[in-house]
Copies of this chain bind each other. A is one copy, B any other.
């Protein structure tokens, strides 16, 4: 099944992955779905890397299921990078928790294909697709600046040398400036939430 129509094309698609524990508790986290196209058959294959210690990995090990929620909502990316969403953000599709506000849902089953010291890599196989809302959307540099700043923030604690940390803080400043200049309200609110989270967790302010 080709997921292009659900917004998941070649390369890495940044989506919100929703999963549930064996007991049914839903979880949401921002994750890249990696899509490769076979040179021989032209068929796409999809993978995810799930990091050790994450709730997503724990849930996938328990259920072998995950859902990709395709969305442009900067706030959801920031929030889920730092904490789970409250239950009222979720609904159910094919017995899996998914985000009410997503533009498309894709349910996958997972096959473990690689074990690394920091992550496990799974091939994921499409089981169901629901396209909820198609739209036209111009590129907004602020939206992606929120995503880039969020990724940097989550990596910050993994950087050990002070020079590396300074470099990351400088890039985060730069992205915050792009959001200020180019973002809409949603992106500006999102970077505000990120600034709070970063101050709480790491004790520094940016932009």
**Which positions in A face B, CB cutoff 8 Å?**
5-15, 32-33, 35, 37, 68, 70, 72, 77, 103-104, 131, 133-144, 147-148, 181-185, 187
Give the most central of A14, A35, A142, A144: most B CB within 10 Å. Answer: A144
Which residues on the B side are within 8 Å of A77 (C-beta)? 139
Contact B142 A7 (CB under 8 A): no
What copy number does this chain have within its complex?
2
Q: A9-B140, A11-B140 are in contact. List 9 more A-B contacts (CB 8 A).
A: A5-B136, A9-B138, A12-B182, A14-B138, A70-B137, A133-B136, A134-B134, A135-B136, A139-B143
Contact B70 A136 (CB under 8 A): yes
Which residues on the B side are within 8 Å of A141 (C-beta)? 12, 14, 144, 147-148
Contact B13 A140 (CB under 8 A): yes
